[in-house]
Chains A and B, each alone.
Chain A
Amino acid sequence: MPQLTIDGKQITAPVGATILQVARENGIDIPTFCHHEALEPWGACRLCIVEVDEGSRTRLVTSCNFPVKEGLAVTTKNKSIIAIRKMIIELLLTRCPNAQAVRQMADKLGVTGTRFPIENEFCILCGMCVRVCKEIVGAQAISFASRGGNKKVASPFFKRSGDCIGCGACVYVCPTQCITMNDVTEATDVYAEGTEQVGYARVMNNWRTRLPLKVCKSCGNPIAPEFQLQVLGKKAGLAPDALDLCQGCKE
């Protein structure tokens, strides 16, 4: 097991762990914006940078995806690290001045304002929604679109996603709460010829997707999106009628 030091503290770390994991386990705080324990490291926000000394030279690396090594000396805070983190958060504050998570992080890092002309985005492009949908849900319903300043998270062609199961994992994981969903009791489809009542439905606002909710065979209350139950039931190898009742009626 590799021996290393973080901010001068002698630590024995498990093989394959990242600097961030080891630091957090030892009560050393490193700010992050694109890291989630359940997801693969991504290395996009750069907020988690630290300085590593491997003997011959020092360099700045992202701690969330840098594996620990024998003899590594890590510094999580010094003048240049703080300056870089402040710059990153100032830029995020420029893009998302009204996102609570960004403001809180700015407060924490002592950044009070921005020198640049502000925008009013909420998404910080941390990619957690895209990654949770791929890595955990397995749906790959959403992705990044475009590049550079136009980059955004989107459903394919900014239209209804046929792969979204309406699980809400993306809503849950988003640090700036910019993904929203809501359940409606009476959804209506509008056609040229007239309208059609759909009944209970879940609306994923950002992904322009609406999924009819399955209702309990016994009590008639909505359970979950029909499509989600189909997909999950198939994955779990359940009988087609296994998910016909709500939790209450099952018991």
Chain B
Amino acid sequence: MDNNPAMKTLDSAVEKYGGKKEALLSIMHEIQKAQGSISEDSARYLSQKLDIPVSQVFSAATFYRAFSTEPRGKHHIKVCTGTSCYLRASEKIFERIGRELNIAGEGASEDGEFSVEKVRCMGCCNAGPVMAIDEQICEDVSAGKIPDLPKQEIIGEMTHRKATTVIKKYREDK
């Protein structure tokens, strides 16, 4: 057994599901949550522990949106670029966020606080353009609004409260 704390997380995730192969995805969810990614080391370790070829872990880790092989930030931002949001200029939102947080394209910021990713249709086109910060969906975002909100406010408030209220409040204040 490994004494490395990262490996301990893996061990406890595996144990939680009784070391069952069929639980691979559930175990991967736990790891993604705890470590912000399914790293190569984690994938290889998991493959050994569960006796699954590493190719299968790799395939799952790159197939599902829920996982990422690159580290994600503490706060993960998803910008919808599905058809409907795309038509409402969500690419601009994506660009803007990148500029604000100093992230080029998809990926994480240097300090590891934020990461940003494009996703396809989050299932609420009527409220678009939408984005999500961690699990919190922010409706009716527009690129112009983003930079004016101080970073802490975007992240702090939006993650704890409904983002729309933050934006609305911001609008009212103006």
- A residues adjacent to B (C-beta < 8 A): 139-147, 154-157, 161-163
How far apart are the CA atoms of A147 and B140 in the complex, in Å?
28
Whether B54 pairs with A162 at a CB distance below 8 angstroms is: yes
Q: Which of B58-66, B88-96, B123-131, B156-164 interfaces with chain A?
A: B58-66
Whether A156 pairs with B43 at a CB distance below 8 angstroms is: yes
- B residues adjacent to A (C-beta < 8 A): 40, 43-44, 53-59, 62-63, 69
Whether B62 pairs with A163 at a CB distance below 8 angstroms is: no
Whether B55 pairs with A163 at a CB distance below 8 angstroms is: yes
Whether A140 pairs with B56 at a CB distance below 8 angstroms is: yes
Whether B63 pairs with A156 at a CB distance below 8 angstroms is: no
Given A156-B54, A162-B54, A163-B54 in contact, is the A143-B59 Cβ separation under 8 Å?
yes
How far apart are the CA atoms of A144 and B60 in the complex, in Å?
9
Given A156-B58, A157-B43, A157-B58 in contact, is the A140-B53 Cβ separation under 8 Å?
yes
How far apart are the CA atoms of A144 and B64 in the complex, in Å?
12
14 contacts between A and B (CB under 8 A): A139-B53, A140-B53, A140-B56, A141-B55, A145-B58, A145-B59, A145-B62, A145-B63, A147-B63, A156-B44, A156-B55, A156-B57, A156-B58, A157-B43
Other than the given A141-B53, A146-B62, A157-B43, 10 more pairs (CB < 8 A) read A140-B55, A140-B56, A143-B58, A144-B63, A145-B59, A156-B57, A157-B69, A161-B55, A163-B53, A163-B55
Whether A146 pairs with B55 at a CB distance below 8 angstroms is: no
A154 partner residues in chain B, CB cutoff 8 A: 58
B56 partner residues in chain A, CB cutoff 8 A: 140, 143
How far apart are the CA atoms of A145 and B57 in the complex, in Å?
10
Report B127 CB to chain A, min CB distance, Å. Answer: 24
How far apart are the CA atoms of A156 and B46 in the complex, in Å?
13
A162 partner residues in chain B, CB cutoff 8 A: 54
Report A146 CB to chain B, min CB distance, Å. Answer: 5
How far apart are the CA atoms of A94 and B164 in the complex, in Å?
43
Report B37 CB to chain A, min CB distance, Å. Answer: 12
How far apart are the CA atoms of A139 and B59 in the complex, in Å?
15
How far apart are the CA atoms of A142 and B69 in the complex, in Å?
17
